[in-house]
Every structure is written in structure tokens, then in C-alpha cells.
Amino acid sequence: MGFLADALSRVKPSATIVMTQKARDLKAQGRDVISLSVGEPDFDTPEHIKQAAIEAIRRGETKYPPVSGIVPLREAIAKKFKRENGLDYKPSQTIVGTGGKQVIYNALLATLNPGDEVVIPRPYWVSYPEMVGLCGGTPVFAETTMETNFKLQPEELERAITSKTKWVILNSPSNPSGAAYSHAEMKALTDVLVRHPHVWVLTDDMYEHLVYGDFTFVTPAQVEPALYDRTLTMNGVSKSYAMTGWRIGYAAGPEPLIKAMDFVQGQQTSGAATISQWAAVAALDGPQDHLAQFRAAFQTRRDLVVSMLNQTNGLRCPTPEGAFYVYPSCAELIGKRTPEGKVIETDEDFVTELLMAEGVASVHGSAFGLGPNLRISYATSNQLLEEACSRIQRFCGSLR
């Protein structure tokens, strides 16, 4: 009998963390590395949010919090959903976790039994299938293509649903592709889900505020009220408020599900850090002026990166609607050789050789379930992005 749990054999390490660590290691060795692998804004947390945390410390808000979150934050979450998404939730229908990842994990842990299936469109955030597996469920992948801008089509969703399906996970805007669903596109998916009353919807809206141009964000329960009683709407402060290290995610949904998640969390981590929760109250209830600045900066960066990558030999890059990622195809470069004679057999080979040759860190698309592609985060300065894309152009141009 082995000491470690069998479940670990079903789980892969996070490719984004692995590539980010490789970039750090090379930097520590003195290499000039530009990391485009990490999924976090390069902006600082807005000042009024930091100030709220300082004031909370001074007030002595440093004791154990309630498992589901402090009351002012749960009230702020309910107000946020009403104000921005037209969704009516009582504070008792909300829950706060140590990051969005914990919220998703607790929802799956509280609901999945062996044999239950979870439909996940691919490309997907690397943690979705791993969390499903750790919780005893079976991930079922619904396919997308570059021709549909990596958006799940209703017929593919219909095909993936079976009598064993318990959840469908939807992420808009998407990590890794940046694809986001318009109202009409989301309605086409919710029409399918309405026909399958045994299926619940877990929607990851973490990049809600990072959409560009005239695009308008929507979330499933907002588009189709008939799904309200079987939808968990997850969000957080990490991306839109540059608060990745504060570790606050939240969700709202049917009260029995929220109570089950509270039960799990009570035996796991208990409540999220109190100081971070008070900072999140200020984020949700306070000024939102920084959002327009974030969006403008990210849109400029997106346009720069898409333009330069589409001028690169062998790469094709769609223009995403949101988040801060692009997901170019490197299919035309598979089978080519580096100047040193290394054959690029996979997208993982591509990103590995790119890092070693030019010091640009990205993440291979096969880690997100769909390749040959790579995920590039443009959450860094225009100057670094221009230099990184120039290096990518040089690397691709060297392949024969």
C-alpha cells in the first residue's frame, strides 16, 4: 500500500506555475528573461483599497472571521451582483473564499460523487480538470476551434452532456484564450442548458471587467433567469482590482449549495484573511475609476501583441474580446528545426526552445487542452511586450 493518495496520480502540476518558475530560475542565473507566462496584472492595488486594509488593522479587525465571510463583504457582494449583473442575491446566498480557485474547488467537493461528469470547454484554465479529478468527478471536454474564436458552440455543448453530467463550467472572458461570449452567444448556450434540468452551471467571471471596445459582458443567470436556481456565479477581486496576492474570491448561488460549501470550508481553511476581506469591501463598494484605466492600457497592449504576432512567420493570432491573454497557433512551425538542429515536434517544444533561445516565457497550449498553440499574457509594459514580440519574431524566423 502506497503512502500517497491515488488521486494524486490523476493530477498534473500547473503548467503556468511550472513555466513561471523556469523563467524565475533563468533570471536568477543572470539571463535576460521576459515572462509572459503569469496571469496577473502588473498594476498596483488601488490606493483606497490598501488604505482600507490599513484602517482595518488599526481597528483591530484581526480575529477569526466567519467561515463564509464577514457580513459587510457578503453585503457588498450582493450589491455588486445587483448593480452590475441585475442578479438578486441575499448576503446569505454568497460566500467568500481564499481566492476564486478555492471557491470552485469547494463547490465541486461539496457536490461531486464518483462517476459524476463535469463538462469543460477547451482550451480551459489548467486547474478545472485537475480539481474535478481531485474531487472524484470525471472531466468531459467540449471542443472549440480557432475558427469560432475558441467559443463553445451550442451543438458541441449538447453533444457533451449526458445523464451523468452534474456541472458545466463556463469561463468568460476566458483564460487562456481571452474569448468572451456576447449576449446572443451566451443565450445559445443557456438555451441548451435549460433543456437539461439536471445540469448545474458554474460560471467563472473573474475577468468580467476586462473587456474591450464595445463588448458588453454577460453572465449565464443574467441571460437566462430560468438557470438562477442551478447556477453558481463565481468572481473575485484578483484581476479587476490588481489584488492577486490578497487572495479573495467569492460566489453567489442557491442557499443549500452555499451552506454545503460553507460546511466544506469550515473543515478546510475556515474564513479568508480578515484584512483582505475588508480590503475587498473597499474594492467592491468604493470608486471604480481605475477600471477604465486598466481596460485602456490592456486594450492597447492586446492590439500591439496581436499585430506583432500576426506579422510573425508561422504564427496566427485571433483578437480576443477580453482578459489579458492571446492564444496564437504555432501549427505551421511544428516539424521545423532550430539553428541547433532541435526539431519542434510539439507546442511544448516550441515554448521551451523559445525560452532558452530568446528568454521569452510563455505557456504551451496543450497544457490548456488545445494545441498546437501558446498562451501569452500581455499583463506587462508596452516596452517589454514590444521587445518580447520582436524576440518571438526572431526565433520563428530562425526555424527551418
Summarised one tens digit per residue, pLDDT across range 101-152 is 999 999 999 999 999 999 999 999 999 999 999 999 999 999 999 999 999 9
pLDDT, tens digit (0-9, with 9 covering 90-100), for 73-95: 999 999 999 999 999 999 999 99
* pTM score: 0.95
Quickly tell me which residue has 488545445 as its cell: 370
- C-alpha grid cell for residue 386? 514590444
Residue 34 has pLDDT above 80, yes or no: yes
- The pLDDT of residue 73: 98
pLDDT of 163 reads: 98
Residues of the chain with CATH 3.90.1150.10: 6-44+290-398
> What is the CATH topology of the domain spanning 6-44+290-398?
Aspartate Aminotransferase, domain 1 (3.90.1150)
Per-residue pLDDT at 235 exceeds 90: yes
DSSP-assigned letters across all residues of 179-243: ----HHHHHHHHHHHHT-TT-EEEEE-TTTT-B-TT-----HHHH-GGGGGGEEEEEESTTTTT-
Q: Nearest-CA neighbor of 49 among 220, 256, 224, 287?
A: 287
- List the single range of 38-47, 277-286, 293-302, 318-327 with lowest mean pLDDT: 38-47
Q: Average pLDDT of 273-289?
A: 98
The pLDDT value recorded for residue 184 is: 98
Mean pLDDT of the region 37-52: 95
As annotated, the residues of the chain forming the CATH 3.40.640.10 domain(s) are 61-285
Which position has the grid cell 524566423?
397
pLDDT of res. 5: 87
The pLDDT of 171-200, averaged and rounded, is 98
pLDDT band at 386 (very low <50, low <70, confident <90, very high): very high
Residues 1-12: tens digit of each pLDDT:
689 988 888 777
Q: pLDDT band for position 21 (50/70/90)?
A: confident
DSSP 8-state assignment for residue 376: E
Query: What pLDDT score was predicted for residue 19?
Result: 79
Average pLDDT score over the chain: 96
pLDDT of residue 216: 98
What nine digits make up the cell of 259?
451552506
Reported confidence tier of residue 24, pLDDT bands at 50, 70, 90: confident
* Percent over 70 (pLDDT), the chain: 100
> Residue for cell digits 473587456?
211
In this structure, of 22-31, 155-164, 374-383, 389-398, the range with the lowest mean pLDDT score is 22-31
* pLDDT of residue 71 exceeding 90: yes
CATH class of 61-285: alpha beta
